[in-house]
């Protein structure tokens, strides 16, 4: 399987800059939704194309993507910077990572739930605000550790830097009245146990909401 890691920057052409308020709204939920549509423009080369890429916003007007085929510039982007993603990994390699993830699990009788929201709901209402980040730290780390079994890695250390809840306009979740999803901002260190399984997990992405900028793990060799 060949993968491509690409950097995409919004075009500086006047025609593209005139759309800035539409492409980069101030509201976080509207921004995610706009970027979800924007990034698809670099990969939707046919009407029946299925989404086969991950993305994340690095900074205003700049995105990273991991995909099974190279993106195209079109009118909205500058020429993409594309390189083949084929790291030489061996069992025992240690990597530092950064990840934005919508972490979920299936709960009997309920269905798919956000791991942090689910853990918070188990606390008294008056304690949730004070316990929010501690709960996010444990729930996020436990979730990523569970993925490691089939995902070809062992989690060594992780830190949840932020947990936010996003509401998307015009998108509704599977349950009525539940248009929100949580986003964990995580960093840490992992050890590769099965390189092939780990690369397959990288290609598939981590967690849900991958169409909205979640799931792409960034890596570098651990010092």
The predicted-structure confidence for 7-35, as pLDDT tens digits, reads as follows 999 888 887 787 877 878 787 778 888 88
H or E segment and range at residue 115: helix 115-121
Torsion angle of the four alpha carbons 195, 114, 165, 174, in this order, in degrees rounded to the nearest 10:
110
Percent of the chain topping pLDDT 90: 59
pLDDT for residue 171: 53
H or E segment and range at residue 29: helix 28-40
Instruction: Give the C-alpha separation, 187 to 104, whole Å.
Output: 18
Helix 128-151 × helix 195-204 angle, to 10°: 130
Fold of the CATH domain 94-221: Alpha-Beta Plaits (3.30.70)
Is pLDDT larger for residue 40 or for residue 199?
A: 199
What is the domain partition of the chain in residue ranges?
3-85, 94-221
The predicted-structure confidence for 123-150, as pLDDT tens digits, reads as follows 999 999 999 999 999 999 999 999 999 9
pLDDT for residue 110: 80
Fold of the CATH domain 3-85: Alpha-Beta Plaits (3.30.70)
H or E segment and range at residue 149: helix 128-151
Mean pLDDT of 67-88: 90
pLDDT for residue 33: 83
The predicted-structure confidence for 192-206, as pLDDT tens digits, reads as follows 999 999 999 999 999
Comparing CA positions, the residue from 172, 216, 166 lying closest to residue 28 is 166
């Amino acid at each position: 399987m060949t993968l491509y890691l690409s950097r995409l920057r919004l075009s500086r052409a006047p025609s593209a800059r005139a759309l800035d308020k539409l492409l980069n709204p101030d509201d976080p939920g509207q921004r995610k939704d706009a970027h979800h549509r924007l990034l698809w423009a670099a990969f939707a080369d046919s009407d029946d194309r299925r989404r086969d890429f991950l993305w994340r916003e690095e900074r205003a007007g700049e995105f990273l993507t991991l995909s099974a085929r190279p993106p195209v510039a079109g009118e909205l982007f500058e020429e993409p910077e594309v390189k083949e993603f084929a790291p030489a990994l061996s069992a025992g390699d240690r990597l530092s990572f950064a990840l934005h993830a919508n972490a979920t699990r299936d709960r009997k009788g309920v269905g798919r739930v956000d791991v942090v929201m689910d853990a918070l709901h188990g606390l008294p209402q008056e304690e949730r605000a004070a316990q929010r980040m501690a709960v996010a730290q444990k729930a996020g780390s436990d979730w990523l550790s569970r993925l490691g079994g089939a995902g070809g890695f062992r989690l060594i250390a992780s830190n949840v830097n932020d947990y936010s809840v996003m509401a998307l306009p015009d998108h509704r979740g599977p349950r009525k009245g539940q248009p929100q999803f949580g986003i964990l901002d995580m960093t840490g260190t992992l050890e590769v146990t099965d390189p092939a399984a780990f690369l397959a997990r990288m290609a598939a992405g981590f967690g849900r909401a991958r169409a909205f900028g979640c799931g792409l793990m960034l890596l570098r060799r651990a010092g």
